[in-house]
Amino acid sequence: MADGSAGQREWRVTGMDCGSCAAKVRGAVERLPGVEGVDVALMAERLRMTLDETQTPPERIEKAVRGVGFGIAPKGARPEKPNGGFVLPDGAFPDAAESSETDIEPEENDKPADEAPRSWMNSSKGRLVVGTGALLAAAWASRLVLPAEIAHWAFVLATLVGIVPVAQRAFAMTRAGMPFTIEMLMTIAASGALMIGEPEEAALVVFLFAVGELLEGVSAGKARDSIRALSKLAPKTARLEVGGKTREVAAEKLQVGQVVQVRPGDRVPCDGEVMSGTSGVDESPVTGESVPSLKEPGAEVFAGSINAEALLRVRVLRSAEDNTIARIVRLVEEAESARAPTERFIDRFGRVYMPAVVGAAVLVAVVPPLAFGLAWGAWIYRALALLLIGCPCALVISVPASITSALSTGARNGLLMKGGAVIEAAARTTHVAFDKTGTLTHGKPRVTDVSVLIGSEDDLMSLAAGVENGASHPLGQAICVEAERRGVHAAAATGGRALPGKGAEASIDGVIVSVGSPRLANARGALTDDLRTRAAALEAEGKTVVIVLCEDVPQGLIALRDEPRADAADAVAQLRNLGISSVMLTGDNPRTAQAIAEALGIEHRSELMPEDKVTAIRNLTTDARVMMIGDGINDAPALAAAHVGVAMGSGTDVALETADAAILRNRVTDVPAKIRLARATMVNIRQNIAIALGLKAVFLVTTIFGITGLWIAILADTGATVLVTMNALRLLFFRPAGPPERIGPTAKKAHPEHAAATT
């Protein structure tokens, strides 16, 4: 591919219901020349690869996928109905013909979430079940009224009609280099049962196989719908302001900078900034936060949130393909590609497992008759049952089904994770490292104390706000915000100027008013012993102190601090009760860091440059599993260095791109929630593997001893697949948020060995 002709190509593949289906699609194309980086996403129905079209044209890729029984269409084109698998011809069921994929509107072709739900009877697998069931019922009925010889051939006919499409897929996949598939096992088992004179069981096995495939499809559809429902959160239309009038347009056509109106009760059609209006907005569909958020001019709103109270005019900040909903959907779909280590192991295991099962079945069929003179028919029958029991479908689907459900649950609760590998790593977390500013704290200083020496608090705030009015420094802005909150008008000031490194000053009513650090007051001889003592006491609490001077006469002190988030201490306590140690990494001075850390009950390391944070993370990762939480550009290297990097939703794009996961709601308590979800997912995966292997082990023994037969074998395989899928779907109802933890001596003693590990 040195000629540079290779490029990324993507298709939508329909008809995939389980992990083995995805493996068949992957196997059909990855052997073709010029194909690299094959990625098959089961729930997103996506096939993506790097393709050198000079060696293999796209048409050959599509032919290979259709050859193994799946529908395929280029990204954005009308989805294609899978070929094969029908017992009865199109038109036998009018409803099915009327609701075929060709009725989908062109503009909806690339939006799977928008397709109308179809009844299981209208699907190819549903019709296969109905057809084989009807033929089996007819065969049983014929046995009651017709001679045994004729009834025998009725069962043979029912078996052949049902097994032919399965055999076609089996041989197609064999030609594609995949001989060990459930279709091939079914074909051998059904054909073998006919040969040894068991047509009744053969027909029943074919019917049960069809039922099992239908149930797999229904279960996969439920899991897929839970993700696709996310894309339905954003409305399809928006009320666009054009020339003083409003008109309804498609939301996907909105451009950055345009202004839309959002009426009470409407969903916000875009990510934007409120231009005018004040209203409570329900952001629970996007962030999971149940309490409506007050939105005023200048506030940001998310696509998919619901305006609750009054008309808002919103300026579009992001295009439809880059809004919050689109990013969540894209992240969840892309997360399928980041496969968990457990899933990769099971895939490797499956490649060895299937040939081993076939070999074992051959031995069961041949050794007892040859070595011990036992009946050929009985042992061939048991070998055929063993083949069906050996199907790895339940084992293959056990991990991706749980991962997909967890990703969907996380997305609904504002907890985004980029795939199964991240979930597995998060579940093993033993230490959490927090950035301070913007993560444990709000990221903006706030006025905490106002101490007056002369006059009133309002007078002091009026003078300070007058000097700082229009300031760009965060401390000055915080003083102005506090004055506005108190309803205090900033004093009219002239001649304002900054005093670099010290503060600012301006003229108010002909008097020079200065707002600056204790160092400025000291330089002007205004720092008395009492003032110095007060300032030192406030600074000991991690606060920044400014002194207001009128003609170098102290008027009072204002203390500011970047306050911890309301839930930060609770989050640290919850992590402690989960057996996880926490440490705060910050570039702040030791006194401020210590004050914040003591309030939260967390270890801390201060005066760290970005490279120092990376070193601290690497030191922790030598003997612990570390999750790093941050929000800024300076946190990106540390996020990448940790086993799991988590970005706060308010963080920079760099942090969000670098991180393995994100917290949309900016709540620190979502960190333990994310770990709870990851741990619950891994428990679910272990349960699924136990179900899949346990059932196979039980029926393997009963089959070899002749206790169970063919129809029980296929029922066990189908049942295991359905049980595994339904167990995975339980995660859709998991609630990651735990109860608030009591913060006190008891909580701090929960896991002293972990707390000691961070010191």
Active site amino acids = 435
Whole-number Å distance between alpha carbons of 424 and 674: 11
Which amino acid appears at position 301 of this protein? V
- As a whole number of angstroms, the distance between CA 196 and CA 379 comes to 11
Task: Give residue for tokens 């298709």.
Answer: 11
Give the C-alpha separation, 654 to 186, whole Å.
51
Separation between Cα atoms, residue 622 and residue 652, nearest integer Å: 28
| Torsion sign, CA atoms 689, 695, 697, 703 | negative
Structure tokens at 266: 């409407």
Residues in the chain: 759
Distance CA 263, CA 273 (A): 15
Q: Residue 583 and residue 594: Cα distance in Å, rounded? A: 12
In the structure encoding, which two tokens stand for residue 524, read together? 């002007």
Say if CB 252 and CB 285 are below 8 A apart.
no
Token couple for 416: 């985004």
Query: Which DSSP string corresponds to 236-303?
Result: SEEEEEETTEEEEEEGGG--TT-EEEE-TTPBP-SSEEEEE--EEEE-HHHH---SPEEE-TT-EE-T
d(CA 580, CA 559): 34
Q: What is the spatial distance between Cα 685 and Cα 599, in angstroms, rounded to a whole number?
A: 38
- Tokens linked to 257: 């900078």
Q: Residue 98 is which amino acid?
A: E
Phi, psi of 655 (to 5 degrees): -65, -45
What's the CA angle centered on 317, arms 311 and 320, to 5 degrees? 95
Residue type, 252: E
CA distance 691 to 399: 12
